[in-house]
Amino acid sequence: MKKDHNDFQILKTVEADSSVSQRKLSSQMELNVASVNFALKRLIQKGFVKKEGENPRRVKYHITPEGLREKTQLAYKFFDRNIPYYHEVRNDIEARIVKATDGKKVSLAIYGASDLSEITYMVVTKMGWNFLGFYLENSKITKGKILDYNFQSLDLLKGGHKCLLLLADKCPADVLKDIGKKNIETLSLVGYNIN
């Protein structure tokens, strides 16, 4: 299963960026470079990836039509295996929100930029409660978006009315302390294994 996951990640990355380096793949996948090198060689041998060039600084990898089919098959395999787990996570998140608010509708905001943030947003949307947006501390904000929402600075989150900040990513203790001063309640959702 881990091999399939690694193959999928490599195929997906190579499809998006043919000039990706083994070092960058290693960093993204949190694997050592030797493991990435071994996986790439195996994918090349199977005909899923084609290597262009020999200079390590200029080498390019291209996904082949067979590689695209393999990537799709792996994605379906993960989906079939993981969909019951995602339903369980979504139901658990909703139950935890209801418990934290005693079932009273409050405004909800999400801290973090992760797969868990996206799943949490699906739950919030399904619940129909007021969604304030996605938040990060200023130092982490980029021009990126998540689900067509711009990230907002946590400084903009006011505690004027009851708000629950759903932590879908690790938040520094000093930032949490400042949030507490604004009378904003938090609910940590970190800990689900979303891969």
List, for residues 65-83, the tens digit of each pLDDT value: 998 889 888 887 877 777 7
> 5 vs 11, 14, 84, 175, CA distance in Å?
10, 14, 18, 34
> How confident is the model over 147-165, as a mean pLDDT?
79
Specify the pLDDT at position 139. 62
| pLDDT higher at 170 or 137 | 170
H/E element holding 171?
none
Specify the pLDDT at position 83. 78
CB 84 within 8 A of CB 147: no
pLDDT tens per residue, range 36-60: 889 999 999 999 999 998 887 788 9
CB 186 within 8 A of CB 108: no
Among 25-34, 82-91, 137-146, name the one with the lowest average pLDDT: 137-146
> How confident is the model over 106-118, as a mean pLDDT?
88
Specify the pLDDT at position 29. 83
- Structural domains in the chain plus CATH codes: 2-73 (1.10.10.10), 101-188 (3.40.50.20)
pTM of the model: 0.60
Residue 194 has pLDDT above 70, yes or no: no
| pLDDT higher at 187 or 173 | 187
Specify the pLDDT at position 195. 55
- Between the two ends of the chain, the Cα-to-Cα distance in Å is 11
Q: What pLDDT band is residue 100 in, cutting at 50, 70 and 90? A: very high
Strand 60-63 and strand 49-52: the pairing is antiparallel
